[in-house]
Amino acid sequence: MGKNTKKVRVRFAPSPTGSIHVGNLRTALFAWLFAKNNCGDFLVRLEDTDRKRLEEDSTQKIFRALDWVDLIIDEGVYLNRQGELSQKGKVGPYIQSERLDIYKQYAQQLLQTGKAYYCFCSEERLKTIHERQQLKKTPVMYDRHCRNLSKEEVFNKIKAGEKYVIRMKIPDNEIVVFEDQVFGKVSVKTDILDDQVLIKTDGFPTYHFAVVVDDHLMKISHIFRGEDWIPSTPKHILLYKFFHWEIPIFVHLPNVLGEDKKKLSKRAGAVSVEDFKAKGYLPEALINFLALLGWNSKTEQEIFSREELIEKFDLTGLNKAGAIFNYQKLNWFNKEYLRKLKKEKFKEKVLEFLPIAIKEKVEKNSEKLEKILPLIKERIEKFEDVTKMTTVGELDYYFDQPNYLKEKLLWKNENNLIKTKKYLEKIIELLKQVKVWTGIEIKNELWNYATEQGRGSVLWPMRYALSGKDKSPDPFILAEILGQGETLQRLYYAVKKIEEN
């Protein structure tokens, strides 16, 4: 196979049978990066010929996901500003169900040149053949029953209204060889290849036929897809040869694996891209993480801008081994990108993930939210964590007086509430003297007294009185956020609680 001389043109061709999962997105990303690195074109084609598995709204989900991660489409199908499906480019249509006449034309060409044939076998007959082959433990393949029907027999069957498919005529005793950019040289004997169906009984093409016709007509130079398609590639190459077309360069990508080292897939319940969005991951973090999932930049660098990824991406960095999808690593990436978010954008995302009840309280006290944001940023890895914080009450105490048992004000093994009450009263006295209400000034005012009496004994009841939680920020930060008036009010409440019988 000679070197491909076409301009770099790659395609991402999702099927609207569900959402895009991360394995699909990584394939699209690698193709996109390669195209951008080589001043090429990134096309998106919608492969909707599997009519039985089409899912309503799947198309919208696919293109919303591509928009979210900002993979700019040069040509093909895209969502316009109104959120409607549109197409752009000179070699469309880019939706396979709109190209049926094209596939029929090329199928007829193969029939005329003796490279394909009509098959009238019923589903029942095919099922019986396959069951016998399974019992004999021989390859499950079509037995070529209709391969040598005469023209007259074919004409009469079609005239009689018999249903048929069109199959490709796999040549005997040949070896198909191709050079994959990741897995190297692959050789396959045609004897193990099935006479693949090209056109189904409903007139729609199979994937194997449509993909070859479309990739040729759309001038695709490099085909990026999962390694699962390697066994099918010899059939595709034969079709290219039947038509005397230039064969594109194949880049089969190793599978993305779960932590159990099994392949992630839509059918196996792999997390979709929209699920990552819903959990509050940032698209920049997900892209950075996926770019390094099976590709080696040959540097120690881990955080890459989009421009840096484009500049460094090449095929020699692709690994043969499957890449494990590590959530812990993804969370690390996401936290790194969270830290870089500008304050207003971070605030906007926090508000988006707050439950309605607390969101209303927050919006009434935006000044307090501004003080809480740095604490939230340190605590979370993704914005879903903000929702979890509110679920366990980790934000409520900033806006509502906490309710608790007075015994919880005691430090560790202490049991003297009268002593604790005295500590709280002294804290109130000292805090009234603070002129500039900041965490540092509050700490300066209390630190000597807390050190003399025992820091835990003094500061624990203060902290618990302010938060009502076993775990919370230190009492100086809490007091600064709450403000002087509310801090004193909560400490008075704690003293009263101890005085109750």
Nearest to 56 by CA among 5, 8, 3, 17: 17
Q: In sequence order, which ranges of 94-231 are alpha helices (DSSP H)?
A: 100-112, 123-136, 151-159, 207-217
β-bridge pairing 165-168 and 249-253: unpaired
User: Choosing from 104, 200, 266, 426, which is the catalytic residue?
Assistant: 266
Residue 460 contacts by C-beta under 8 Å, 6 or more apart in sequence? 409, 410, 411, 412
Q: CA-CA distances (angstroms) from residue 397 to 62, 305, 471, 487?
A: 40, 38, 12, 12
- Rounded distance between C-alpha atoms, residue 126 and residue 144, angstroms: 11
The residues near 371 (Cβ < 8 Å, ≥ 6 apart) are 480, 481
- The 8-class DSSP code of residue 22 comes to H
Could you give the 3-state DSSP secondary structure of residue 435?
coil
Phi, psi angles (nearest 5°) of residue 427 = -60, -45
Q: Give CA–CA dist 480/328, Å, rounded.
A: 33
Using CA atoms, how far apart are residues 36 and 16, in angstroms rounded to an integer?
Answer: 26
Query: How far apart (Å, rounded) are the C-alpha atoms in residues 376 and 395?
Result: 9
| Alpha carbon distance 137, 3 (integer Å) | 40
Amino acid at 74: D
* 67's tokens: 């928009």
Distances (CA, A) of 316 to 2, 197, 292: 19, 35, 13
Give the Cα separation of 401 and 203 in Å (integer): 69
- Determine whether 279 is an active site residue: no
* Residue positions annotated with a catalytic role: 266
